[in-house]
Amino acid sequence: MSKSPFDESRKNHWRILGKTVVKNLASRGFEALYADTREEALEEVLKIIPEGASVGVPGSVTIREIGAMEALEERGCPVIHHWDPSLSPDERLQKLQDELLADYFLTSSNAVTQDGMLVNIDGNGNRVSGMAWGNNTLIFVVGMNKLTATIDEAISRTRNTATPPNALRLKLDTPCTKTGYCVDCSSPDRVCKALLILERATGGRKSHVILVGEDLGF
C-alpha cells in the first residue's frame, strides 16, 4: 500500500507534539524520550536493559508489537510473562508474581495526557501494581495514538478504546464485546477493575517513558 502524501505531515505533527510531552513527562520525574519508529523504540529499550537482566512483561500488546520479547531473549535476558496458554492456573499465578520481581518491568500505558500523566486500567491488578511500586526499573513504551488532551479523556480512553479490544482478544463474555464501548458492567469477566493515575514518577526507582511516533497497542 502506497503512503498518503499527507503521512509526513502527520509524522511531523507527532514529532513536535511528542517532544512537548517528553518535556512534560520529564518535569514529572520520568526519564522520557521520543522515538520515530518501533525499531528506534526497541533500540532504546535495549540500551536501558543490559544483557542477562530479567524482564517482567505483563499483558502488553505494544511490547510484543515492537519485537521486544524476541530481542531480549536473543541477548540472554530471561523474559517472564503469563500469556503462555499452556500454563496451569498455579503456574500462571506464579508468573504474575515473578513479573513484578524482575530486574526490569517493561510495559505500555493505556493513555498519556499531554501534560505528562500516565493512566492505566487493569483487571487482575498485576500490571498497575508493577507500575505503582517496585524496587526495579520501570519502562513504558507508548504509541502516540494513546495521547489525550485531558485526564478525563485519558480515563475514557482506557475504558472505551483499550478495554473492548482486550476483552475481545481474551474471548471474554463482557457487554463491551457486544456494544464496543464500556457500560460499567458487573460481569465476572470484567477486565477494568483497577484504575491507576501516575501523576508523577513514584519514588525509589527509575521510570522511563519512550513515546513512539506510531500507532501501537490498544
In a domain, 172, yes or no: no
pLDDT at 2 over 70: no
CATH code of the domain containing 76: 3.40.50.10420
Lowest mean pLDDT among 130-134, 153-157, 190-194: 190-194
Nearest to 21 by CA among 105, 111, 110: 111
Q: What is the pLDDT of residues 74-97, one digit of tens each?
A: 999 999 999 888 889 999 999 999
DSSP-derived 3-state class of residue 74: helix
pTM: 0.94
Tens digits of residue pLDDT in 18-55: 999 999 999 999 999 999 999 999 999 999 999 999 99
The pLDDT value given to residue 18: 97
What is the predicted pLDDT for the residue at 170?
Answer: 84
CB-based contact 28:185 (threshold 8 Å):
no
* Residue 99 within a domain: yes
Structural domain including 56 reads 8-148+194-212
How many domains does the chain contain in total? 1
- Please state the three-class secondary structure of 106-123 as a single string: EECCCEEECCCCEEEEEC
The whole-number average pLDDT for the span 185-205 is: 93
- Tell me the per-residue pLDDT of 164-191, one tens digit each, with 9 for 90 and over: 988 898 899 898 999 999 999 999 889 8
Query: Whose CA is closest to 138, among 148, 128, 124, 146?
Result: 128
pLDDT score at 28: 98
In a domain, 167, yes or no: no
